[in-house]
Every structure is written in structure tokens, then in C-alpha cells.
Structure 1
């Protein structure tokens, strides 16, 4: 194996560790699957299929009073986050903060599993150009090194909004994820070269999703990843 391939393999392994540090803990039970696409609110195409009640002043999520109530149901967040979410909800009447959090958890699982399986088509649909290119390069380096990832998401322990707002028509929401991941990297012969499925690794990452508020597409895209 040439030095260049060794370096690329090390880079791919590092990126893999950063990627799988985005979900949560579940030491004794598997994470319950979260259905539905990652989008603004239930009832949109691809969302979890929940019968929609006839909108009225009390139940219509587009109603300002209902939006305020939904924000109060959110986990405790700093005032700046509450103001940012309210700003997004005011401009984008389809936005529902609680449904967004549910979708974010699902999207993280989908993105991580796509990366582990080297599914570029799925990553392309869930990430913006810059993030996709980073993931794609890491996958290419892994393939070049003849390695595969056998990772398992154990549990999403924490999913909290740390920042939210609108910038030049682009709604952006940043979330902090704390996760346990069992991670294994195998060589071309299937031998384990890094990690263990017996021990989960706890990690914390901060990911930002964005969506143009005037776009007819309800889906959000991952547009930034950072370590906490």
C-alpha cells in the first residue's frame, strides 16, 4: 500500500469518526425508527402519515397563536433560539419546530447510514454541494484503500437547537447531537482494522440545516458540520 493511500485511509477514518458522532446513546435498546421525511411539518408529501384534522383557530399550525404554543412545547432553549425559530415560523407558515426536530433526528440517521454504506445518491439528496463533496471525497478515499465501514447507531441521546434564524431568505437551524456509535472499519479481506462493535463511542457534533423559505421544496439540506 502506497503512502498516499495510507494517508487517504487515515483521513477517511477520521471523517468517519466525526460523522458517526452525530446521534446519541442507547446502551440497552435499539433506537426506535423515526418515520417521515425531514421537512417543515406533518402532512407534507413524504412526511409521517398522520390524519390531518380540519384546520381551525386552535389546531391550525399556521395560526400565530398555535405557532407560539408549539414553540413553548420545545425543549428549553435560549431566548435567541426561540426568537430565531419564531422568525422562521413567521416567514414560512409550513414550518413546525417540533416536527423539524423529529425530522432532524431521522435525517441524521439517514445521512450517517448513507455515508457508512457509501451511498452517494442518498447523500446527494440530503446535503448541499460543499458537504456532499466532503462526504464523497471521504468515501472515495475509503474505496481506494479497500476499506468498508460496519457502523451501528446505538441511540440519539440529545438533539437540541443551538441557533436559528433567517439570513438573506435562507432559514438556518443548528443542532447539537450527542450520540453513541459502535464503529468498525474493515480491510478488503474483511479484517477489522479499527474500532469495535462491542464498545460504543460517545461523541458530540454540531450540524446546521438550511432551506430557502420561498422554495416550494419542503426538505432541508445539511449545509455545515462542526465538532462541538
Structure 2
């Protein structure tokens, strides 16, 4: 989205994957922890334009009423931004982040999220370790991804995406016994995630800056 993200490999390739999936053209069990503050990160220096460019496919892509103006401002500041590609990247990032959180991969989460969000994830993962619990979750499907909001403040771009997904959520204890959830039933999940990036920064990656439940 904005150049949002990708399919997993190794931590060393994560940054490159995030960039390519996120919108750059040639863009359950436990609830996810919510950070106390929000920040951002990405892209090539914006080019000056005489007239405001038309966001690619703005108006034909899934978005809520208040998001279009912000998207147009982002495209004006960075004409390479592509709405459709950003949404595809956002869905990939959603899956990668959930799976990294469930398996307790703090290194990958630091690549995908801002410092505040990664720290919140790490605290939740540590609490699971202390309690001896393990998450055995599976993202069954993403039913819908909709841009709920888009803002450009100075050079900081933030895009909020509402995800409607089905998740099979199971919590196991140290003896691998199921103590919560079901292995048979998927639960409807509604999350609101905000991805952020500083336009013109050398790092081209969008990062998860906030999580909430819809």
C-alpha cells in the first residue's frame, strides 16, 4: 500500500519484500497488543507536480468515505503510490504479522512494525512464555480489506485498513492441551490496522504503527 508488504522468507529479505509488495510502481484467542503511542516510516523523494495527480483507481477500490482526500494528498506527494497495490500489500502484511506474533518471532515483528508496536508484541509474547502457553492459530481467509482512513501530516503518511477475516484460534498449555478456542471453528475477526511511512525517507518500507479491533 502505499507499498505494503509481502510473503515471508528470512529476516534479511523482509525489508525488500515489504517494499515490493506495498504499492510502489516502476507502493483468536489473545487480542493483539495496542501500543501507547503511534509513529511512522518510507519512499523516494516526492516529485514536484504542477497539478494534483489522480490517484490510481481511487474511487473504484474498497475504501470508506473519509479516505479519498487523504489518498489524493499522498499521491500528490508521491505519484508512484498505487492504491490497489497497497491493499494487496496490506493483506500480505496482515498475514505475515499475525503469523509472526502467533509463533513468537520478535525479530520478524521488528521488521514489520514500528518500535512501539514491536515492543507491545514482545511484551505479549513474553507473557505467553511465562505462562507456558502457545498459540496454535491459523488465518483461514481475509474476507475483505477496506481503506478506512488516509492522512498526510507534513511528510508522514498514515493509512488505516479495516480487515474482516476468519481465524481458527487455539491456545495450548505446556503439555500441548487445548485450553481455549477450537480446532474446528473459525472465528470472525475485525481488525483496524494503521500503516505509516515518512514520504521522502530513504527507507521505502511501510510499517505497522497501530492495531485495534473494529
TM-score (norm 2): 0.76
- Residue 66 of structure 1 and its aligned partner are, at CA, apart by 7.5
SS at match of 1:121: helix
Q: CA 1:127 to 1:84, structure 2 compared with 1: closer, same or farther past 3 Å?
A: same
Residues 40 and 219, structure 1, Cα contact 8 Å, conserved in 2: no
Where does residue 82 of structure 1 map in the other structure? 68
Gaps of 5+ in 1: 1-33, 45-61
Where does residue 127 of structure 1 map in the other structure? 113
Where does residue 51 of structure 1 map in the other structure? none
Counterpart-to-counterpart distance in 1, 2:116 and 2:184:
34
Matched, 1:138 2:124: yes
Instruction: Mark the structure with the bigger radius of gyration.
Output: 1
Where does residue 185 of structure 1 map in the other structure? 171
- Of 214, 219, 224, which aligns to 2:200? 214
Residues 181 and 200, structure 1, Cα contact 8 Å, conserved in 2: yes
Q: CA 1:108 to 1:209, structure 2 compared with 1: closer, same or farther past 3 Å?
A: same
Residues 40 and 218, structure 1, Cα contact 8 Å, conserved in 2: no
Residues 85 and 165, structure 1, Cα contact 8 Å, conserved in 2: yes
Residues 209 and 223, structure 1, Cα contact 8 Å, conserved in 2: yes
Matched, 1:73 2:90: no
Residues 53 and 79, structure 2, Cα contact 8 Å, conserved in 1: no
- Residue 167 of structure 1 and its aligned partner are, at CA, apart by 1.1
Q: Report matched runs for 1:1-228 at 5 Å.
A: 37=18, 38-43=21-26, 67-75=54-62, 77-78=64-65, 80-228=66-214
Q: CA RMSD in A?
A: 2.2
SS at match of 1:154: strand
- Residue 129 of structure 1 and its aligned partner are, at CA, apart by 1.2
Q: CA 1:136 to 1:177, structure 2 compared with 1: closer, same or farther past 3 Å?
A: same
Residues 117 and 149, structure 1, Cα contact 8 Å, conserved in 2: yes
**1:112-168 deviation per Cα after TM superposition (whole angstroms, max 9, x unaligned):** 000011000100001011111111000000011111111010100110011101013
Residues 148 and 185, structure 1, Cα contact 8 Å, conserved in 2: yes
Between the two proteins, the alignment pairs up a number of residues equal to 177
- Residue 68 of structure 1 and its aligned partner are, at CA, apart by 3.7
Residues 55 and 75, structure 2, Cα contact 8 Å, conserved in 1: no
